[in-house]
Amino acid sequence: MENQVQEVKSRIDIVELIRSYIPLQKGGKNFKALCPFHNEHTPSFMVSSQLQSFKCFGCNKSGDAITFIEEIEGVEFPEALRMLAERAGIKLKEVKEAPEQSRKQKLFEINHLAEEYFNFLLTKHKFGKVALDYLKNRGLKEETIKVFGIGYSPNSWDSLGNFLLKKGYFLEDIVASGLAITKEGGRHFYDRFRGRVMFPYRDSQGRTIGFSARILEAEKDQPKYINTPQTPIYDKGSSLYGIDLGKTEIKKADEAIVVEGQMDMISPFQAGVKNIVAAGGTSLTQNQLRVLLRYSKNLALCFDTDFAGDSASQRGIEVAEELEMNIRVVTLPKEFKDADEVVKKDPEIFKKAIEEAKPINDFYFDSAL
């Protein structure tokens, strides 16, 4: 095992690794940055290319590439080693890949390809123009669309499925990924998502695990959103939209802001509030909060301003209290429906609401009035 650890470490450049998480600036022989593990205004986080190590002179965290992954991802040594081995293209010899792991890897690949396919159609193809105009009208910049991998599924019965089949994937794996549905005894299929804006869900490692798909125009008997069903890699009750992008800032700010929907997360993120994730239109679950606990035990709940939003806040509080988290509740101005609307009007209103978030006792008192 020790040989494998050394092999992995020798194949990972700690500067490039850390740069994939936070911006680094050259400072003499070393690199410096604002520490991702605590809040600071002057860079005290140093990375040495020569020593292949990091040290923060503010919070005293230090170590090598494996230590960095343990800290930033909130994982134990074996998982950190596995993640780095995967990054370096090394197969860990002493750990046999179980058949279910091999299957999961295929599903990650299929979902990643689907994300790229949908994003290409949205940003580079005439089919996606209506959806692109819709997103721009909602205030999204091209860079934001790129960062979040937002896409468009064409109004076609089988275009994605055929694209993936041509890439060499089996129909049974495409169906297992949740992207296609079989009919007529499994001989034929159709794409699950058609004519919708596609919001990819990624896990904390940035792997695409599923999608939430929004219809462009309201149609009779058509739900506004449909999601990837339960799969070996996607569980709605354990997934947080934007966790891959928000986790570093959550750790740094030592607080996670939790909103309801995808746009409620994207708009504040675009406006500079980056320690944020979305519950995905569902009540917070223990599994979702356990993911957040890797990065902080402090929570700011910011759900919609309607009765359903108040109810979701109360349920979220109950679950968070069971996990002994510290909770604040954000009260948005009543003239706005949700975080997205507030940010569209003025990001400073949203930022002020976050600053003035109330402890749970005050929230319960105000709710009773």
DSSP 224: S
Q: Which residues contact 3 (CB under 8 A, 6 or more apart)?
A: none
14 and 63 in a single domain? The answer is yes
- Whether residue 272 is contained in a domain is answered as yes
Mean pLDDT rounded to a whole number for the chain: 90
Tell me what the mean pLDDT of segment 312-321 comes to. 82
71 and 136 in a single domain? The answer is no
Q: Is the pLDDT of residue 45 over 80?
A: yes
Question: How many domains are contained in the chain?
Answer: 3
Q: Which of 234, 257, 292 is the last residue before a domain boundary?
A: 234
21 and 53 in a single domain? The answer is yes
Q: Is the pLDDT of residue 369 over 60?
A: no
247 and 158 in a single domain? The answer is no
CA atoms lying within 13 Å on the CB side of residue 85:
18
- Whether residue 94 is contained in a domain is answered as no
57 and 116 in a single domain? The answer is no
Tell me whether residue 361 is exposed, middle or buried, using C-beta atoms within 10 angstroms of its C-beta: 0 to 12, 13 to 18, 19 or more: exposed
277 and 196 in a single domain? The answer is no
Of 291-295, 306-310, 358-362, the poorest mean pLDDT is in 306-310
> Which CATH number is 340's domain given?
3.40.1360.10
218 and 247 in a single domain? The answer is no
> Which CATH number is 80's domain given?
3.90.580.10
Which residues constitute the domain of residue 252? 243-368
Q: Which of 234, 259, 275 is the last residue before a domain boundary?
A: 234
- Whether residue 20 is contained in a domain is answered as yes
- Whether residue 93 is contained in a domain is answered as no
Better-predicted residue by pLDDT, 115 or 317: 115
